[in-house]
Structure 1
Amino acid sequence: MSASSASSSLLLLSLCLALLSHFAAASPRPRDLRFSAEDIAAVEAALPLRHRRSSGTTFFEVDRPLRPPKGSSGPCSTLLLSHSFAFTLTKPPVTAAYSPPECLLEAGAVSLAVLEWRAECRGVQYDRIFGVWLGGAELLRGSTAEPRPGGVAWSVSKDVTRYAPLLAAGNATLAVYLGNLIDDTYNGVYHANLTLHLYFRRAARSSSPQPAAAADAIVPVSRSLPLNDGLWFVVQNSTDVQSARLAVPPNAYRAVLEVYVSSHYADEFWYMNTPEQNGPFREVTVLLDGDVVGAVWPFPVIYTGGINPLIWRPITSIGSFNMPTYDIELTPFLGKLLDGEHHELGFKVTNALNSWYVDANLHLWLDGKSSKTTGGLVAYDAPKLAGSIVSHSADGIDGEYEATASRNITATGWVSSSRGNVTTTFTQRLSFANTNVVSSHGSAQAINQTTDALTSVSGGGAQAQQQVHQSFPLYIFLGGDGSGTSSQRLMRRVEIGFEEARSGAVTSTLRNRQAAAAEVTLRDDAVVGASWRMHQTYAYGASDGGCYLRNVSSVGYDVLFDHRDASCAGARGR
């Protein structure tokens, strides 16, 4: 992504003029996956008059609305930060002093905490990545929308209830980094407001199953201020290990590491890489004193300027405004962490090219009835990553590239506390398959990829037990027709999904799918037309009564229909 580097233009290659001839001459695969400012201006000028309006456009990421539990009071809303991000690249994050809102000190238990980011931008600008940290712990990571000439606005609402101990703690520093570049071409300034909305529990809890309680303490695993960048670690290649030393409180009885990860620059489109670019497989490994204790196989977030920015207007790509995080259960390893010493917690990215932004939050549950807990590792098995990549190409350009990978990690450990002697087992079963077909002398590329991840936690008490099954299907086609003639069409198709099934104290399912396409028509090397469409279905259901269905479709900037159902009557029988 072009978020935080003055050299971003090296990646953001022109897609329109003379694109098809560039494919065969420069690369065995299409790498022109972003529009330049000139390209965007040409496309906007070729749109019908009704789309070339001067007023702003609202972009949105489809997600379920956040509603407090029944019986909650609120919201109590506090503006945390208001700032205009102009030339902020290589400059320190914007900071503000944070103290718990008065209502939090007075009202007691939080039933829901929502962090809301609202922003707008007018002019010319690329999408940029931004991050929000409180006391060094990351709360939100997302990309900005790419603005239109008439301006663009968008908002993000994230459930941050799990960060309750940070929100209630004493004085802390809120830090926001958005690496924006202003020059003669790119003049868009991002104006953003960050607000915290709190809801409080005033009714007695029901007897129905409740989600796991928030941790008692959160230890950030990130870089420390002051610095001229985000607080994330920057992993630059496949041998680079970024780490931090930390110690845990002596009375911890459970530990969960929440990992934030995003890909940029040469690895922004890692899933399209052929063998000479280290292939299409990427894995973020979590290392404890050098040993692999967990792995993240990331969802392929496509930023709002990626592949073809038209596709993500006005419905943005899954996870683009609110990137997913990934939990690694470290409870089996608490015996090592409870020795009173500092330990090295690190991150490495398999096959990485420059660069990946990674940091994490260590969520800790503490024994309020004991000053010290003890533990030990019973069993641990983390065989080396298994994988292969096979190339079938007669000329080094056209061909088929197949990549597979699999990983199994299992750890069992015990912790003795006032809760008794509890044994916890953490298991990961991960698989990956990618097929990349390059054809038409390098001018067309088709990607089929599936990531499948099964993570389970057993033992550890009823609230800790859970199983999470995630699947990330991805299909991308890039091509065109009419090469060598005065009239050409440049085509892009993307089908992507985020599917998840959770079981535990609360059982839930999510099926989030997008299917989109865009075409740009050239005549005599000039853009004369563009069209794009998007269809997205979102279906969520949970055993605690939570439910949300949404079916939305757009053509160009027009939303054709947007059907929503929070009662989920339409889901019966599915």
Structure 2
Amino acid sequence: MTSRTTSSCLIFLLALLLPLAAVAVPRRHRFPSLQLAPVNSSEPPTTFFEVDRPIQPPRGSVGPCSALLLSDSFGYTYGRPPATAAYVPPECLAAGGSLALAVLEWSADCRGRQFDRIFGVWLSGAELLRSCTAEPRPNGILWSVSRDVTRYAALLSEPGEVAVYLGNIVDSTYTGVYHANLTLHLYFHPTTPSPPPPPPHADLILPISRSLPLNDGQWFAIQDSTDAQSKKLAIPSNTYRAVLEVFVSFHSSDEFWYTNPPNEYIEANNLSSVPGNGAFREVIVKVDDNVVGAVWPFTVIYTGGVNPLLWRPITGIGSFNLPTYDIDITPFLGKLMDGKEHNFGFAVTNALDMWYIDANLHLWLDHKSKKTVGSLISYDAASSANVDSEFSGLDGRFVTSASRHVSATGWVESSHGKVMTTFYQRFSYRNSNVYSKNGSEQVVNQTIDAKSGVSTTNGAVLLSEEVHQVFPLYLFSGTSDEVGDEYSLVSAVELGINEKRVSGAEQGFSYSSLRNAQSARGSMRVKGNLVTSGSGENHQVYKYVGTDGCYSRDVSSKNYTVVFDRSDDSCLKGSQVKGSRFPSS
């Protein structure tokens, strides 16, 4: 295995980073996948799931028209070429109907013992899904992931190639083989009465990723803070709008980057195997020499993280369907439509090995002209970061704060007139990382506050959208009862997403509010880096209210068993479940 291609779902980031000694040392938050509870072989497979709002076809739409894109088994696939299949647009799509909804569904099963594995799905080099597998049981597991891929309508209408990379390892201990089907479901507006006008999806999608053939995924692998990965692209001369959609996941030494202490703490305590560089990470997105935006990622915890029993069968927020992040680069188009190639690149502040990043460039083309013109009017990309450290031996407190502001305004003249676009991002970050009891306990309190907006005008407002997200995180990890190479570990995790979206366009006004909160806790007995016993429980409250409907779910699980599960799609007052611990954004 090379450090470049190893993902967090392949690395044993175990608790024991140093030989056990008379003093405690900070431990990591990943353990090998063991069966922590007896299994009756006659029991049916366990169904794992991530709580999310179900994707509903538009009212009156026709479908689904479904096509199996790929069916494969992922055994010993690490360091080998992705599974691929030729993509031919389904006949129903080629017939030219008005597409209402496209859903990509990944369904899989596995039996035996296996780690969680990161995987990606690409179509003609553009990533459509980033996900993590569930960890199996001897009697088997099932799970599925659905993602709305309607925004890729232009890509779906052209022949291409589907690629799936899932780097798995099978040996005498880790026996699980992942059997997966990838299916596309399409829904169409009825032909009568006249279908609504097509939504403003991009006319062209250019992948900013690595090209096949590869013995890895098509993502770029960022290995450290000095590593920058990029791709050169030429923009069509009749482009009038451009949006970068960025995929991000973090692994290996940076899988739990928000728990990392500063290097000075590591050096002072001679903890050379403990990941460092502090607890702040920022994905920087550049076009040529300009920072056009940033990603301060949601803290996804994969299905084997912290205590694997926390995420069975309810998985961590975003673990099955990792979020993507949009950056509108329309203000910079005046610099890009010169017929030359331009550099689209990524870097990660303070990064350790490994981050997987790629992007899709969504372009809107003016079909009534051969060339558009534009100019950047104003631009700013200011940032700051600060760390207050105080420690004595293995105990200490590290408070990290950071902020970032990116804004750009530019105009593009096309057959739509002279359109002025402003895009902005405002981020704030605070992380408190406390070690106590001779380093045997760690408490992390973190909040990421991200606000972004875009507006386009040509005398009248054509588009206005604002998104405000707050990502709260609390993590406690404590070890005790240490005898030789055996000890107990107690963990508690609270994480969530609070989000508000407001947008207005020629198609109308929309609003949504999401509060998604998880609270999980559990304990394990660890011997020689192997979990010998343990338990875990998880409670999640999901509330969505928007102009397109409502959905709520209150669900709890303990040791593979769902204790209760209540859901509601009514927008009536009082129908929403109660119990979120997180303040509103």
State the TM-score, normalized to the length of structure 1: 0.91
What do you get for the CA RMSD once the two structures are aligned?
A: 2.7
Q: CA deviation at 1:539?
A: 0.8
The CA deviation at 1:390 is 1.6
Change (3 A) 1:111 1:523: closer
- Give, as a single letter, the amino acid of the residue that structure 1 aligns with 2:182: L
In 1: Cα distance, 2:530 partner to 2:294 partner = 47
Q: Does structure 1 residue 44 correspond to structure 2 residue 37?
A: yes
Q: Structure 2: how far apart are the matches of 1:562 and 1:3?
A: 41
Summarize deviations over 1:97-151 as a string: whole Å, max 9, x none. 1111000122511111000000011111100011011111000010000111221
Q: Which residue number corresponds to residue 244 of structure 1? A: 231
- In structure 2, what is the Cα distance between the partners aligned to 1:413 and 1:526? 57
- Contact 2:250 2:354 survives alignment (8 Å): yes
Q: Which residue of 1 aligns with 2:550?
A: 547
- Give the counterpart letter for 1:407 in structure 2: R
The amino acid across from 1:515 in the alignment is S
2:124 and 2:9 mapped to 1: Cα distance?
33
Instruction: Tell me the residue number matched to 2:30.
Output: 34
Residues 292, 12 of structure 1: CA spacing in aligned structure 2 closer, same or farther, 3 A cutoff? same
Q: Deviations over 1:328-375 (max 9, x none)?
A: 010000001111111000000000000100000000111121111110
Q: Select the residue among 179, 202, 227 that pairs with 2:167.
A: 179
Q: Secondary structure at the match of 1:304?
A: coil
User: Structure 2: how far apart are the matches of 1:188 and 1:486?
Assistant: 28
What does 1:437-456 correspond to in 2, within 5 Å?
Answer: 437-456=434-453
Which amino acid is the alignment partner of residue 56 of structure 1? Answer: P
Indicate the SS of the match to 2:95: helix
Give 1:554-573 correspondences, 5 Å limit.
Answer: 554-571=557-574
Report SS of the residue matched to 1:175: strand
Task: Find the aligned partners of 1:121 and 1:534 in 2 and give their Cα distance.
Answer: 22
Pairing partner for 2:220 from 233, 258, 267: 233
Deviates more, 1:420-429 or 1:198-207: 198-207
Question: Structure 2 length as normaliser, TM-score?
Answer: 0.90
Matched with 2:345 is 346
Q: 1:86 to 1:448 in 2, by over 3 A?
A: same
Contact 2:409 2:420 in 1 (8 A): yes
Summarize the Cα distance change of 1:454–1:571 in structure 2 as closer, same or farther, 3 Å threshold.
farther
Contact 1:4 1:90 in 2 (8 A): no
Q: 1:29-82 CA deviation, whole Å, 9 max, x = no partner? A: 222x12224xx24x234xxx66x7653211100011111111200000000000
State the AA in 2 paired with 1:410: S
Q: Distance in 2 between matches of 1:342 and 1:402?
A: 42
Change (3 A) 1:429 1:9: closer
Name the SS for the 2:37 alignment partner: helix
Q: Distance in 2 between matches of 1:103 and 1:406?
A: 48
- Unaligned stretches of 5+ residues in structure 1: none
Residues 215 and 314 (structure 1 numbering): CA distance in 2 closer, same or farther, change over 3 Å? same
Structure 1 residue 391 displacement after superposition:
1.3
Secondary structure of the corresponding residue to residue 504 of structure 1: strand
How far off is 1:164 after superposition? Answer: 0.4
Percent identity between the aligned chains? 56
Distance 1:358 1:533, change over 3 A: same
Question: Cα gap change, 1:320/1:374 in structure 2, threshold over 3 Å: closer, same or farther?
Answer: same
How far apart in 2 are the matches of 1:10 and 1:100? 34
Matched residue type, 2:391: S
Summarize deviations over 1:257-310 as a string: whole Å, max 9, x none. Answer: 000000011111101000021111111111111221100000011000011110
The residue number in structure 2 matching 1:377 is 376
Q: Which amino acid aligns with 1:531?
A: S
Q: Is the 8 A contact 1:110 1:199 kept in 2?
A: yes
Is 1:514 matched up with 2:537?
no
* Residue number among 85, 106, 110 corresponding to 2:74 in the alignment: 85
Asked if the contact 1:459–1:465 (Cα under 8 Å) also holds between the matched residues in 2, the reply is: yes
Conservation of the 8 A alpha-carbon contact between 2:61 and 2:187? yes
Q: 1:347, 1:358 within 8 Å by CA — same for their partners in 2?
A: yes
Equivalenced residue count is 556
Residues 20, 483 of structure 1: 8 Å contact kept: no
CA displacement, residues 500-554 of structure 1 (integer Å, 9 cap, x when unaligned): 11110321111110001012257999977532211101111111x3211111111
Residue 489 of structure 1 contacts residue 520 of structure 1 at CA under 8 Å; is this kept in 2? yes
